Structure 1
């Protein structure tokens, strides 16, 4: 018999976040707000880079096995 899984918060769902981004972009477009795609792309790349560095650092801090350098 499978154990019931607990529900995760909505903000941890990639599908929900993706839908929210699309809906917000459509609302902004309908309201006549023009997005500077170059600036948006640059900001997202910088955010992804920072997030990747943070994840790597967090993973190393929480690691249970030390690294071997040889």
Structure 2
């Protein structure tokens, strides 16, 4: 059975994120939740636009406008 690199595993990445968050919390790092929410919404908006543009560029069938 073939294996994949550790950095391609969503489970490993998720676990690393939890560990990093715990280390940051223990070190006294605080995060402004309003700023984090704003940043997440901007990132999601940018990702959505990118997916839409990429999908249209890669499309093999033209759009019909009626």
Q: TM-score under structure 1 normalisation?
A: 0.75
Task: Name structure 1 gaps, 5 residues minimum.
Answer: none
Distance in 1 separating the partners of 2:39 and 2:50: 16
Q: Which 4+ stretches in 1 moved above 4 angstroms?
A: none
Size of the alignment, in residue pairs? 66
Whole-angstrom distance in 2 between the partners of 1:28 and 1:54: 31
Shift of 1:43: 0.2
Give 1:16 deviation, angstroms: 3.2
In 1, Cα distance between equivalents of 2:54 and 2:22: 35
Distance 2:36 2:52 in 1: 24
What does the per-residue CA deviation read over 1:11-64, in whole Å, with 9 as the maximum and x for residues that have no partner?
Answer: 4x4333332322221111011101111101110110010011001100100100
Q: CA deviation at 1:9?
A: 6.9
Q: CA RMSD in A?
A: 2.1
